[in-house]
Amino acid sequence: MIRLKSVDLKKEKVESLVIPVCEDKNVFDDKIIISLIKKAKKIGEFKGDKDDEVIFYNLPEVKAERVIFIGLGKLEKVNTEALRAATGKAVKALIKKKLSNVLMAVPVAKKINMEMTSLLEAMLEGAYLGNHIFDK
């Protein structure tokens, strides 16, 4: 089931937290998420480039078993399709790993020059499409 909810990252226990990351700009206001992104970017293999991904396990800052950072690329190229694709890809990958309790961090709409409704619609569509499994 896909649903939209607000949570306290320090209290909400979840299997997987997915955080979309821009390469060149911060798109979040939450201090915990910002500190997690800084930690991820300290690793040389993750910069936030389009399709970059890195996973951390059991970070003390949050009650998530794993935190998955997915790169969106440069902010100027982030649009609804980029968010839809990144969200769908993340959901599809988590399904393959048989993980079902997923929390997706939503960027601040103003920071990516979008209306909140467009941003949420794109991410929810991506999650829905990524959640689809064709089984003949």
pLDDT in tens, 77-123: 999 999 999 999 999 999 889 988 889 999 999 999 999 999 999 99
Q: So what's the architecture of 14-131 in CATH?
A: 3-Layer(aba) Sandwich (3.40)
Contact 16, 68 (CB under 8 A): yes
**Strand residues in 74-131 grouped as ranges (E):** 102-104
Q: What is the pLDDT of residue 2?
A: 65
**Strand residues in the chain grouped as ranges (E):** 14-22, 53-57, 64-73, 102-104
Mean pLDDT to the nearest integer, 45-55: 93
pLDDT in tens, 9-43: 888 898 999 999 999 999 999 999 999 999 999 98
Residue 55 has pLDDT above 90, yes or no: yes
